[in-house]
Amino acid sequence: MLVRRELELADPAEAKAINEQLISMPHQDVRSTAGLAELRAISHAPPGGADLAVVGLAGAGLEIDTNGTRLRLRTFAGDGPARAVLVHIHGGGFCIGKPEEDDRWNAMLARECQVAVISPEYRLAPEFPHPSGARDCIAAASWAARDGAQFFGSERLVIAGGSAGGHLAAGTLLALRDQGLIGRVAAASILFGVLDASMTPSQLSATDDTLVLTRGWLDAFYDLEFPGVSLDERRNPRLSPLYADLRELPPALFTVGTLDPLLDDSLFMAERWHAAGNDAYLDVYPGAVHGFCNIYPASGAIAWRRMARWISARLDDADRGGEARGGAARM
């Protein structure tokens, strides 16, 4: 089943005004030490605070052993056993970002979906290029599959991520399948994901005038995450999930805006996801830029809550043993 929806923004006037402001958005030279440090110092968190307590060590989350190092997990959980453990992987071009920037939405997902949310503080390029971050995210999901019931009352998983986090989420799903754990995953949600590191047509069409995610940033982020790897070599399925064998994967929701240079990544992946025999849901927002869920206050909140309702519906399906799979879509 492939369900595609073209959705109006909640407040088109708000989006238009913000898009006009984004024209003058600075784009630091992330290839330079100073430029990357400046960008990392900027908080990209949406307005508003979290309203669920963080559980774990000193309010900072849990730490697990992985790859010979300690991996911090920013963690949200409500009262009582969770319906699932949602592994949410933050974005940031593989080079910036931290789990705290998604606190507001992770708290909302924990509350509205009745899940525990863990967000790994994976290693960033260029200090730790691929596959360091990917290994951290896989380790976090594997830990949740192994120990989720002990900590949160459920061994069921949901995998989610946005932008570069969408790339890492897709890679994590493929790794869980190869580990024989994909049956634990009830759903996946990928927001404006980086799914073809060799660049889809919409990426190749980006310029330095493209809002938010310019061609210059795209090229720089890829060079920092995959140093010395050519454009053609990045078609390797390990680097570009779009080219992977996608069989036996869970229902997935892809969310993207039409002004996003990663538009084709979601369009193409949804089609391939479906062609491989999986359920795919595609929400397209005309006039929305890359990362709009965290940029447009009104429309972003609506999109996040659509995602929450979709995840809840997939958990309902899983509770019933999956008999709703292939039936009418419910949001």
Do 119 and 88 touch, CB atoms closer than 8 A? yes
- d(CA 19, CA 292) in angstroms, rounded, equals 10
Residue 51 has pLDDT above 60, yes or no: no
What's residue 43's pLDDT? 67
Per-residue confidence (pLDDT) for residue 330, from 0 to 100: 54
CATH number at residue 281: 3.40.50.1820
- Judge whether 180 lies within some domain: yes
The amino acid sitting at 42 is I
pLDDT of residue 61: 67
Q: Convert the pLDDT of each residue in 109-160 to its tens digit.
A: 999 999 999 999 999 999 999 999 999 999 999 999 998 899 899 999 999 9
Mind listing the pLDDT tens digit for each residue in 247-285?
999 999 999 999 999 999 999 999 999 999 999 999 999
Residue 271 placed within a domain: yes
- Please tell me the distance from the alpha carbon of residue 213 to that of residue 155, in angstroms, as a whole number: 36
> How many Å apart are CA 291 and CA 163, to the nearest integer?
7
Q: In what order do the strands lie in the sheet with 85-89?
A: 2-6, 280-285, 252-257, 185-191, 157-162, 85-89, 116-120, 69-76, 62-66
pTM of the model: 0.93
* Residue 70: Cβ within 10 Å count: 10
State which amino acid sits at residue 116. Answer: A
Answer whether residue 148 is part of any domain: yes
Q: How far apart are CA 242 and CA 236, in angstroms?
A: 9
For residue 15, tell me if it sits in a domain. Answer: yes
Q: Is the preceding peptide bond at 131 cis, omega within 30 degrees of 0?
A: yes
Question: Of all residues in the chain, what percent carry a pLDDT higher than 70?
Answer: 91
Q: How far is CA 274 from CA 188, 251, 277, in A?
A: 13, 9, 5
- Whether residue 324 lies inside any domain: the answer is no
Does residue 330 belong to any structural domain of this protein? Answer: no
pLDDT class of 75 with cuts at 50, 70, 90: very high
Task: Point out the least confidently predicted range of 64-78, 80-94, 231-245, 308-322.
Answer: 64-78
How far is 155 from 79, CA to CA, in rounded Å?
17
| Residue 323 pLDDT exceeds 50 | no
Residue of 124, 324, 99, 320 lying closest to 221 (CA atoms): 124
d(CA 119, CA 87): 6
The pLDDT, as a whole number, for residue 321 is 85
- The domain of 134 spans 2-319
Closest residue by Cα to residue 78 from 47, 105, 55, 62: 55
State how far the alpha carbon of 297 is from the alpha carbons of 15, 18, 39, 101, 238, in Å: 9, 10, 22, 15, 35
**Tokens encoding 186:** 């009830």
Residue 67 predicted with pLDDT over 80: no
Q: Over the stretch 97-119, which tens digit does the pLDDT of each residue have?
A: 999 999 999 999 999 999 999 99
Q: Residues 231-252: what's their mean pLDDT? A: 97
Dihedral (C-alpha) 218, 221, 225, 228: value to the nearest 10 degrees?
70
188: enclosing H helix or E strand: strand 185-191
Kindly report, residue by residue over 19-46, the tens digit of the pLDDT: 999 999 999 999 999 999 999 998 666 6
Contact between 95 and 37 under an 8 Å Cβ cutoff? The reply is no
The region, left, alpha or beta by phi > 0 then psi within -120 to 50, assigned to residue 214 is beta
Domain count, the chain: 1
Give me the pLDDT at residue 46, please: 62
| 13 assigned to some structural domain | yes
User: Tokens representing 308?
Assistant: 């929450």
Q: Over the chain, what is the mean pLDDT? A: 91
Q: Is residue 329 part of a domain?
A: no
Do 309 and 331 contact (CB within 8 A), yes or no? yes
Averaged over 74-91, what is the pLDDT? 91
pLDDT at 327 over 60: no
DSSP H or E run through 190: strand 185-191
